[in-house]
Amino acid sequence: MCQGQESSQVSHVLFFIPFVMTSFLRYCVGLDISKDTLQVCLSVIDSSGRVTVKATTKVVNKPTGFCALVNWVARHRKLELPLNYLMESTGVYHEAVAWYLYQQDQPVSILLPNKAKHYLKSLGYKSKNDKIDAQGLSRMGLEQQLPLWKPLSKNLYALRLLTRQHQRLQELRTQSTNQQHALEHGAFDNGFITKQLANLVKIYDQQLTALEEAIAQLVDDDPILKPRIERLVQIKGLALLSVAVLVAETNGFEGFTNQRHLVSYAGYDVVENQSGNHSGKTRISKKGNSRLRRILHMPAFNAVRFNEPTCKALYERVYQRSGIKMKAYVAVQKRLLLMAYALWRHGVKYDPLYLANQASQDKKIVPTSGTTQDQPAEAELSYL
């Protein structure tokens, strides 16, 4: 081949390289939600990973605005590609639009605000406004595979409203009783305030009793919830109110594929602080649903007090190792949560001696590598 022919072929190859086209993969609509408005950003990602903003707008946070949002997205969605909506869980302001989109068969993902915040920081954004937040959410939805949101059933939603109202009234009652205690032991007393506080406590007690009756009635009327919750209340330490909070705050344990996800959601996951020769304090993250940790506080004490076998053994083991009672009780809280999750997921009855029976069976099994006859394989214990 002569030199002229070789150069012409090379130039021919190089000529077609710039015209290699990248295909688009999917759309994502980022929604930054406030009380009155929805800041919207529609973006698309191509096969090379490049994200392009197609359009932005703002609509009112009302049913008319939700309809306008869907129509606006349809006009700017030029290609028949997969589409997803991504928003933050901003109190209750996101619930109406999320429900509307779900009823329109639109895929929706909902993030905790701290996750979106850290993602925007990782992109190097220094400013913050509604438009930037919407673009960041849109980009995040394209670059990550986020789980789809599934709403609560009507009964679970009602149960969550009842249990959260019970918590608020219980906190107000505690404040009033603390004020009563302060007046009784102070240098000066005021009979008028003392009488008011006594009346408040009486009203709170009546309202709390009414809420507990409403929770019991709701569970009793639901043929699906009733048998499942009755199995959970058989665990020593867990009463109806505790189980109702666990079920309502976890959406009936829906969406948790394993125990690790549930532990992280409740804030019981362990955070280490170690680097090189430095060894900091190891603790639980507490970055999760605080209502779960709050409602499991007293059941953990009761489970140990009434000698629930699994929890009692765990408490003694952790307390003997650490010498800190509260750390042992926190371990019991986590155990109660996982026991409830196992019973709910598998639909089995509560067996207080399950672990003891399982351990005795493991001792009879010929040991494999990594286990001995005196050390049962804890990986097989589903309650752990």
- Which of 167, 162, 171, 197 is closest to 182 using CA atoms? 197
208 and 138 fall within a common domain:
no
Q: For residue 157, is it within any domain? A: no
Judged against a pLDDT cut of 60, whether residue 328 lies above it is answered with yes
Residue range of the domain that includes 69: 24-143
Write the DSSP assignment of 317-362 as a string of letters. Answer: HHHHHH--HHHHHHHHHHHHHHHHHHHHHHT----TTHHHHHHHHH
Judged against a pLDDT cut of 70, whether residue 22 lies above it is answered with no
38 and 129 fall within a common domain:
yes
Contact (CB, 8 A) for 38 and 32: yes
260 and 289 fall within a common domain:
yes
246 and 170 fall within a common domain:
yes
Cβ partners under 8 Å of residue 40, min gap 6: 29, 30, 31, 56, 57, 58, 59, 69, 72, 73, 134
Q: For residue 228, is it within any domain? A: yes
Write the DSSP assignment of 172-211 as a string of letters. Answer: HHHHHHHHHHHHHTSSS--HHHHHHHHHHHHHHHHHHHHH
In this prediction, residue 364 has a pLDDT band, given cuts at 50, 70 and 90, of: low
Q: Is 267 left (phi over 0), alpha (psi -120 to 50) or beta?
A: left
Judged against a pLDDT cut of 60, whether residue 103 lies above it is answered with yes
pLDDT at 20: 46
Rounded distance, CA 354 to CA 268, Å? 24
123 and 180 fall within a common domain:
no
- Among 82, 113, 143, the domain-final residue is 143
DSSP letter at 22? P
pLDDT at 362: 53
In this prediction, residue 357 has a pLDDT band, given cuts at 50, 70 and 90, of: low
pLDDT at 71: 95
Rounded distance, CA 210 to CA 79, Å? 55
In this prediction, residue 78 has a pLDDT band, given cuts at 50, 70 and 90, of: confident
Judged against a pLDDT cut of 90, whether residue 92 lies above it is answered with no
Cβ partners under 8 Å of residue 120, min gap 6: 128, 132, 133, 136
Q: For residue 191, is it within any domain? A: yes
Cα 314 to Cα 311, 332, 334: the distances in Å are 5, 7, 11
Average pLDDT over residues 118-135: 86
pTM of the model: 0.72
Token pair 């933050």 in the structure block, residue: 88
pLDDT at 127: 80
DSSP letter at 20? P
175 and 116 fall within a common domain:
no
Q: For residue 180, is it within any domain? A: yes
DSSP letter at 289? -
Residue, of 228 and 280, whose pLDDT is higher:
228
pLDDT at 53: 92
In this prediction, residue 343 has a pLDDT band, given cuts at 50, 70 and 90, of: very high
Q: pLDDT tens digits for 188-202?
A: 878 899 999 999 999
pLDDT at 361: 58
Give the dihedral sign, CA 359/362/367/370. Answer: negative
Q: For residue 298, is it within any domain? A: yes
Tell me how many degrees the CA angle 144-149-152 measures, rounded to the nearest 5: 160
Q: For residue 224, is it within any domain? A: yes
Cβ partners under 8 Å of residue 28, min gap 6: 42, 43, 44, 45, 83, 84, 85, 86, 138, 139, 141, 142
Domain count, the chain: 2
Size of the chain, expressed as the number of residues it contains: 384
Contact (CB, 8 A) for 137 and 32: yes
In this prediction, residue 116 has a pLDDT band, given cuts at 50, 70 and 90, of: confident
Rounded distance, CA 115 to CA 136, Å? 11
222 and 304 fall within a common domain:
yes
Average pLDDT over residues 255-271: 88
| Residue 102 burial by Cβ neighbours in a 10 Å radius (0-12, 13-18, 19+) | middle
If you average pLDDT over every residue of the chain, what do you get? 85
209 and 312 fall within a common domain:
yes
Judged against a pLDDT cut of 90, whether residue 332 lies above it is answered with yes
pLDDT at 100: 94
Average pLDDT over residues 210-232: 94
Q: For residue 14, is it within any domain? A: no
Question: 91: helix, coil or strand?
Answer: coil
Q: pLDDT tens digits for 136-154?
A: 999 999 999 888 888 878 8
The gap from C-alpha 209 to its chain's centroid, in whole angstroms, comes to: 29
Judged against a pLDDT cut of 80, whether residue 376 lies above it is answered with no
Q: pLDDT tens digits for 304-323?
A: 999 999 999 999 999 999 99
194 and 340 fall within a common domain:
yes
Q: For residue 360, is it within any domain? A: no
Q: What percent of the chain has pLDDT over 90?
A: 58
pLDDT at 61: 95
Structure-block tokens of residue 12: 């021919």
88 and 184 fall within a common domain:
no
CATH number at residue 123: 3.30.420.40
136 and 180 fall within a common domain:
no
256 and 201 fall within a common domain:
yes
CA torsion angle for 245, 246, 248, 249 (degrees, to 10)?
Answer: 100
Judged against a pLDDT cut of 60, whether residue 99 lies above it is answered with yes
> Which region among 172-186, 270-284, 288-302 has the lowest average model confidence (pLDDT)?
270-284
Average pLDDT over residues 123-141: 88
Q: What percent of the chain has pLDDT over 70?
A: 86
Rounded distance, CA 183 to CA 194, Å? 7
